[in-house]
Amino acid sequence: MDFFETLAARIDATDSVVSVGLDPDPTRLPDHVADADLPRWAFNRRIIDATHEHAACYKPNAAFYEDPDGWRALRETAAYAEGKGVPVLLDAKRGDIGNTARQYAEVLDWVDGITVNPYLGRDSLQPFLDRADKGVFALCRTSNPGGADLQDLELASGEPLYERVAALADVWNANDNVGLVVGATAPEELETVREIVPEIPFLVPGVGAQGGDAEAAVEHGLASRSDLPVDVGLVNSSRGIIFAGEESSRPEDEATYFGAAGDAAKRLKKRLNRHR
Ligand SMILES: O=c1ccn([C@@H]2O[C@H](COP(=O)(O)O)[C@@H](O)[C@H]2O)c(=O)[nH]1
């Protein structure tokens, strides 16, 4: 099965489009995992145990693993998620000249999909696009406040740059493995991008801690593809799920702390499903 077939099957099985972001900020890890050999892996394992029923995918952000122990934690995490039947999308935002991109794309040997930064152009994406069975999500209109600075700039044709990226996604999609990253904090742009590319699935970050529009995320983030049994796409929350335990009634109790993450994932799933 290719990435979007696998994802559609997972969405169908869990009735969930929630992507659980695994961003184990070392400064926020609870005492429960402090003595572990690899605290980030110990944390992620407990989060996966608590949330996998409600997770359409896991999205570790590479920034939280870029050191030798971090890389080990990431590999353990990816293998564990896979053992639970949950696809893993590495949020690495890769983009470099072709020779380097070929090396970056090797990571797809052990994750199911990746985010890429398309602003170096097609050759920087080709090694990823060539992996037909893997998902490749290109940044289109990001969720951060500065996302507008460059992505909204008008080209000579009058269209904003992010719209051109959306149109190019269709061109890059020869293997049906391309998705786009469009933030929930930009609901009008989400709608516009959906009109440009009706069949491209989106990864929509920005609900939860960034306060984005969950309804728009679902309404425009999911794509109907005639070859897939359900509408497919992902709505991501990272801190809002994995650190929900900080606000729980007894954060010092391990079961309560991690149970809160499971509850947060379930709540987000239900909230999103009201708009599906
Ligand atoms: O436009 C983008 C692209 C990626 N992200 C990433 O998603 C998560 C969001 O984390 P929250 O804690 O839910 O805010 C994080 O890894 C970002 O780097 C994004 O937010 N916006």
Q: What is the CATH number of the domain that holds 87?
A: 3.20.20.70
Q: Active-site residue 266, yes or no?
A: no
Atom 10 of ligand 1 has which residue's CA nearest to it?
A: 238
**Residue pair 116/139 in contact by the 8 Å Cβ criterion:** yes
User: Domain total for the chain?
Assistant: 1
Q: Which residues contact 88 (CB under 8 A, 6 or more apart)?
A: 57, 58, 59, 60, 77, 78, 81, 82, 111, 112, 113
Instruction: Check if the interface score ipTM surpasses 0.85.
Output: yes
Alpha carbons 78 and 81: distance in angstroms, whole number: 5
Atom of ligand 1 nearest to the CA of 59: 16
Question: What is the chain's Cα-based Rg?
Answer: 18
Burial (CB count within 10 angstroms: exposed 0-12, middle 13-18, buried 19+), residue 97: exposed
Ligand 1 binding pocket mutation candidate from 47, 151, 210 (most atoms within 8 A of CB): 210
Is this prediction's pTM over 0.80? yes
Predicted confidence (pLDDT) at residue 1 exceeds the cutoff of 90:
no
Expressed as residue numbers, the domain containing 61 is 3-273
Share of residues in the chain with pLDDT > 70 (%): 100
Could you tell me if the CB of 143 is within 6 A of ligand 1? Answer: yes
Over residues 116-145, the pLDDT tens digits come to 999 999 999 999 999 999 999 999 999 999
Could you tell me if the CB of 23 is within 6 A of ligand 1? Answer: yes
Ligand 1 binding pocket mutation candidate from 61, 119, 152 (most atoms within 8 A of CB): 61
Strands 89-94 and 113-116: parallel
**Residue pair 128/178 in contact by the 8 Å Cβ criterion:** no
Atom of ligand 1 nearest to the CA of 182: 1
At 204, the pLDDT band (50, 70, 90 cuts) reads: very high
Strands 57-60 and 113-116: unpaired
